[in-house]
Amino acid sequence: MSTPGQYPLWEQHCCLPLTPSATIDELRRYRRPAGSYVSVNIGYSPQDKAASTAIAESFRAQAGGDIELVTRLDDVGAVRGAGGIALAFDLEDSAPLDGDLANVAHFHRLGTRSLLPTYNHANAAGCGCLDADDTGLTGYGRDLVREMNRVGMTVDGSHCSIRTGLDLAAVTERPMIYSHSNLRRLWDHPRNITDDQARSCAETGGVIGINGVGIFLGVNGPDDHARRLSAMADHIEEAVDLVGPAHVGIGSDYSFDAADFVAEITNNAGSFSDAYTAWGPLQWVPPEDVLTLDRVLRNRGFDEPSIEAVYGGNFARVAAAVWATGG
C-alpha cells in the first residue's frame, strides 16, 4: 500500500482543446509524487474519424519524458511509479467511428481506452441524457458494446440517457463505467445519473467517476472554489454510501479549453440545452484542487483503503478487467 497522502491518481476524464495544434503540456498540472493516470478526450459528436485521429496522433507525438502514452496496465504502473503522468485517450461519442465498428480497433490502437456511445442526444447507437424520448440502446449500439468488449475498450455511460445507460450495463460482459457523472439524488440535473444507473454500473464491477463541473454539482459561482470542491466530495461520499467504496472514482471533466467549450455551447446549441446555460458560464474544479481530494476525504473520516480505492484503485481494477481482454 502507498504512503498515506501519496496515492497515485486515476483521472478518468479531462479535456484539452480538440485540435491537432493543442499542446499536452497543461497535463503536468496533474503531477504528484505517486504519479497520475490521465484520460484525455480526443473527440465527441462534432468530430469524425479523420478529425479525432489527427488529434490523437498529435497528442501521441508530443508524449514522452514525464508524460508517457500507455496502452497496458503494466505501463501505467511503471510511469506512475516514476512519478510521471500516464496518458490515454477517450471518446465522448460514437460519431468518430464513422458508423464502422472496425474503427473501434483503430482507435484502440491509437491509445483510446474508453468510449461513450451518445453525447447528450440520440445517434445511431442510442439516446442521450437531454433527449425527451428515451428508447435506449439500438441494435448498432449493442453491437458496439460487444466490439468494445472484444477489443478491450471500456464501455462508458456518461452523457447517455437513463435507459441507454441501463442497457449498457445489461449488454456488457465486462465492467462498465460512468467516467464523469454525478448523482441526481444530490442535484437534479439531466447529466447526473439515477440511483438505478449507479447500482447497475456497480453490479457489472464498474465505477462511477465523480466530476467537478459546477453546473452538475449545483455550485457554479465563479468565486465558489472551496464550495465546489466540497460539493465534489459530497457526491463522492454519497456515491460510496449508495454503491460502496469499491465503485467510486474521479473523472473531473476539467476543461483546459474552457473558453472554447463555453463558445461551443453557444455556437452548437443543438448539442446542449438550457441545462448547460441557466447558471452562467461553466466553472470547474481544477487539477490543483483534485490533487487535494485525498486529504478532503480523510478529513471526512474515510479510511485509507477507501481513499486509495476512490483516488485510483477502482478504475485501475476496471482497466485490469477490460484492457486485458483485447487482442
- In this predicted structure, the answer to whether residue 259 has a pLDDT above a threshold of 70 is yes
For residues 285 and 222, the answer to whether their CB atoms sit within 8 Å is no
Query: What is the residue extent of each domain of the chain?
Result: 9-325
Cell of 327: 487482442
Cell of 93: 461519442
Q: Could you tell me the pLDDT band of residue 4, with boundaries at 50, 70 and 90?
A: very low
- In this predicted structure, the answer to whether residue 203 has a pLDDT above a threshold of 60 is yes
Class of domain 9-325 (CATH, top level):
alpha beta
The residue written with cell numbers 440511483 in the block is 195
User: In this predicted model, what pLDDT tens digit does every residue of 31-44 receive, in sequence order?
Assistant: 999 999 999 999 99
The residue written with cell numbers 465523480 in the block is 210
Give 313's DSSP letter.
I
User: In this predicted model, what pLDDT tens digit does every residue of 34-80 receive, in sequence order?
Assistant: 999 999 999 999 999 999 999 999 999 999 999 999 999 999 999 99
CA distance to 20, 24, 54, 67, 108, per residue, from 60 (Å): 10, 9, 10, 10, 13
- In this predicted structure, the answer to whether residue 327 has a pLDDT above a threshold of 60 is no
Q: Which candidate, 59, 66, 60, places its Cα nearest to that of 17?
A: 59
Average pLDDT, the chain: 95
Report the C-alpha gap between 144 and 163 in whole angstroms. Answer: 16
Q: What pLDDT, on the 0 to 100 scale, is given for residue 326?
A: 56
Query: 3-class DSSP state for residue 254?
Result: strand
User: In this predicted model, what pLDDT tens digit does every residue of 101-138 receive, in sequence order?
Assistant: 999 999 999 999 999 999 999 999 999 999 999 999 99
| Side chain identity, residue 12 | Q
Q: What pLDDT, on the 0 to 100 scale, is given for residue 257?
A: 85
